[in-house]
C-alpha cells in the first residue's frame, strides 16, 4: 500500500483523497469588464469547505454571493478570475469548459437562485433531469433512469411525479420549478453542492423538506455544501460555519454558534440587528442604513464599510483591513471593531457589547 504525501498537503491513499477539505479558495478576485475597466464583484475571498459541512454565506443584495458561487462553478463567461480555487486538491480556476463539464452536475452542482433561467423551456422536466443522469452515467438503462427521475421528483416534494415528468417548465409554478432545479442538482449526489437561495420562493412546509434533503446529502453522502441565503433563521438551523460578505469581501467568518453569540464586525452586528424578534432588545435595534454600492462606485482602497458608518471618525478606521483570526476559527476583516459603536448606543452598551 502506498501512502503518498503531495506537495500541496493533500493526502492520497491509493488515489483516494483522504483530506477533509473539499474546496479551498485563496485570494479569489472575480472582475467584470464594464466599459474599459475591470471591477471586482468578488475581492480577496479565501475560504474552505470541508466534507460533511455546511458553510452558510450571508450578506445583503449585491454583496457578491452569487458572483462567488458562479466563480466556483466556472460559469462566468467573460469575467477575469484571479487567485486559486482547488476542488479535492486540484485547481479548477480557469480550467477548460470540457474539464469543468465533467465535474459540473456530478462532483459539484448548483441550485440556482433564478429557476426560470436555469431550466430549458423546450425540454420536459423528466428529460432535463434524465439528461444530467445520462451525461454522467451512460451505462444506466432507460427504465432505471426513468425510475430514478421519478424518485427524485417525488423526493423534492412534487405530487404526481409521473405527470410532472411530462410537463414543461412554463406549466409549473415558481415553487415547482425551484424543486425541479433542486432535483437536477442532487440527481448525481454531488460531493459539493452550492445552493443559492434554494428555498426563497417556497412555502414553509416545502422549505423545510428541501432543507432536510440538503442535510441528508451532507450526512449520507459526506457532501460539502455552500448555502447562500438572506434568511438568518435558515443559517442558524443549517450551517456549521458562516461567512458574512459585504461588497465582494468576506468581513467575518466563524462557526455558527460563535458568530451568533459574538458577532464582531460592525456589518455583521447590523445584519443581526435587522432581524425583527420579540426579545427584550427589540426597542434597541441598531441598524445601519444604506445599500451596498454598485461595482463602479465601490471604494477601491481602504475599508469598504467606512462610508456606511459616517459617525465613526476617518482616523479610527483601519487603512486596509484584512481578514485576521481573533480566536481560533473566528476571522474578522477589521482590527478596530472593539471601538465601533452605533450612534444611539450608550457607553454601558458598548462596554458590555450589547447591540
Ligand atoms: N455578469 C456581471 N457583469 C457585471 N456586473 C455583475 C455581473 N454579475 C454580477 N454583477 C455585479 O456584481 C455585484 C454582486 O452581484 P451578485 O449577484 O453576486 O450579488 P448577490 O450577493 O448574489 O445579491 P442577491 O442577494 O441580490 O442575489 C453587483 O453589483 C452586481 O451588479
Ligand atoms: S475599519 Fe472602520 S469601517 Fe472598517 S470595519 Fe473597522 S471600524 Fe468598520
Ligand atoms: Mg445572488
Going residue by residue through the chain (355 aa), what tens digit of pLDDT does each one get? 333 434 344 444 444 555 699 999 999 999 999 988 999 999 999 999 999 999 999 999 999 999 999 999 999 988 999 999 999 999 999 999 999 999 999 999 999 887 778 899 999 999 999 999 999 999 999 999 999 999 999 988 899 999 999 999 999 988 889 889 999 999 999 999 999 999 887 788 888 888 998 998 899 889 999 999 989 999 999 999 999 999 999 999 999 999 999 999 999 998 888 766 555 444 445 667 788 889 988 887 888 888 888 888 888 888 889 999 999 999 999 888 888 888 876 544 554 444 3
- Decide: 7 and 209 in contact? Cβ < 8 Å: no
Which pLDDT score is estimated for 138?
Answer: 93
In a domain, 138, yes or no: no
Listed in sequence order, the residues at least 6 apart from 56 whose beta carbon sits closer than 8 Å to its beta carbon are 227, 228, 229, 234, 235, 238, 239, 241, 242, 243, 256
157 CA to centre of ligand 2 in angstroms: 45
CA dist 306 to 129, 233, 242, 337, Å?
A: 46, 28, 23, 12
In a domain, 273, yes or no: yes
3-state secondary structure of 79: coil
> Rounded to two decimals, what is the model's pTM?
0.89
Domain that holds residue 262: 1-13+20-107+190-355
CB of residue 115 inside a 6 A radius of ligand 2: no
CA dist 125 to 108, 118, 284, Å?
A: 21, 12, 49
State the CATH number of the domain containing residue 52: 3.40.50.300
270 CA to centre of ligand 2 in angstroms: 13
Question: Which atom in ligand 2 lies closest to the alpha carbon of residue 335?
Answer: 6
In a domain, 154, yes or no: no
Go through 45-60 and write b for each residue having 16 or more CB atoms within 10 A of its CB, e for each that does not: bbbbbbbebbbbbbbb
196 CA to centre of ligand 3 in angstroms: 7
- Ligand 2: which of 245, 265, 266, 267 to mutate, judged by most atoms within 8 Å of the beta carbon? 266
Nearest residue CA, atom 27 of ligand 1?
Answer: 61
228 CA to centre of ligand 3 in angstroms: 8
Q: How many domains does the chain have?
A: 1
310 CA to centre of ligand 2 in angstroms: 11
Which pLDDT score is estimated for 76?
Answer: 93
In a domain, 313, yes or no: yes
- Ligand 2: which of 251, 264, 301, 305 to mutate, judged by most atoms within 8 Å of the beta carbon? 305
Which pLDDT score is estimated for 286?
Answer: 65
In a domain, 160, yes or no: no
- Decide: 317 and 336 in contact? Cβ < 8 Å: yes
- Decide: 64 and 269 in contact? Cβ < 8 Å: no
What is the grid cell recorded at 44?
480577496
Which pLDDT score is estimated for 240?
Answer: 97
Question: Which atom in ligand 1 lies closest to the alpha carbon of residue 248?
Answer: 14
CA dist 191 to 19, 156, 197, 216, 288, Å?
A: 13, 19, 19, 12, 38
Nearest residue CA, atom 6 of ligand 2?
Answer: 334
In a domain, 30, yes or no: yes
- Decide: 164 and 125 in contact? Cβ < 8 Å: yes
Which pLDDT score is estimated for 8?
Answer: 40
In a domain, 185, yes or no: no
Which pLDDT score is estimated for 220?
Answer: 85
In a domain, 142, yes or no: no
Amino acid at each position: 500500500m502506498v501512502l503518498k504525501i503531495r506537495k500541496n498537503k493533500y493526502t492520497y491513499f491509493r488515489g483516494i483523497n483522504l483530506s477533509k477539505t473539499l474546496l479551498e479558495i485563496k485570494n479569489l478576485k472575480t472582475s467584470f469588464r464594464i466599459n474599459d475597466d475591470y471591477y471586482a464583484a468578488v475581492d480577496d475571498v479565501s475560504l474552505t469547505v470541508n466534507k460533511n459541512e455546511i458553510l452558510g454565506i450571508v450578506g445583503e443584495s449585491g454583496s457578491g454571493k452569487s458572483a462567488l458561487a458562479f466563480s466556483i462553478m466556472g460559469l462566468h463567461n467573460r469575467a477575469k478570475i484571479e487567485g486559486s480555487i482547488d476542488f479535492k486538491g486540484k485547481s479548477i480556476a480557469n480550467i477548460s469548459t470540457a474539464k469543468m463539464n465533467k465535474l459540473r452536475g456530478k462532483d459539484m452542482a448548483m441550485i440556482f437562485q433564478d429557476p426560470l433561467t436555469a431550466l430549458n423551456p423546450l425540454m420536459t422536466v423528466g428529460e432535463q433531469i434524465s439528461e444530467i443522469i445520462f451525461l454522467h452515467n451512460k451505462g444506466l438503462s432507460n427504465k432505471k433512469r426513468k425510475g430514478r427521475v421519478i424518485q427524485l421528483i417525488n423526493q423534492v416534494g412534487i405530487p404526481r411525479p409521473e405527470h410532472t415528468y411530462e410537463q414543461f417548465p412554463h406549466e409549473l409554478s415558481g415553487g415547482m420549478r425551484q424543486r425541479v432545479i433542486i432535483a437536477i442538482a442532487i440527481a448525481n449526489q454531488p460531493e459539493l453542492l452550492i445552493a443559492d437561495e434554494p428555498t426563497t420562493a417556497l412555502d414553509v412546509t416545502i422549505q423545510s423538506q428541501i432543507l432536510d434533503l440538503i442535510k441528508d446529502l451532507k450526512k449520507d453522502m459526506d457532501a460539502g455544501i455552500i448555502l447562500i441565503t438572506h434568511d438568518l433563521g435558515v443559517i442558524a438551523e443549517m450551517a456549521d460555519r458562516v461567512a458574512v460578505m459585504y461588497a465582494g469581501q468576506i468581513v467575518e467568518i466563524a462557526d455558527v454558534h460563535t458568530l451568533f453569540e459574538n458577532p464582531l464586525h460592525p456589518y455583521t452586528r447590523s445584519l443581526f440587528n435587522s432581524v425583527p424578534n420579540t426579545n427584550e432588545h427589540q426597542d434597541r435595534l441598531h441598524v445601519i442604513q444604506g445599500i451596498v454600492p454598485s461595482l463602479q462606485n465601490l471604494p477601491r482602497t481602504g475599508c469598504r464599510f467606512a462610508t456606511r458608518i459616517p459617525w465613526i471618525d476617518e482616523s479610527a478606521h483601519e487603512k486596509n483591513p484584512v481578514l485576521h483570526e481573533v480566536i481560533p476559527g473566528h476571522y474578522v476583516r477589521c482590527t478596530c471593531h472593539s471601538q465601533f459603536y452605533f450612534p444611539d448606543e450608550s457607553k454601558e452598551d458598548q462596554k458590555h457589547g450589547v447591540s
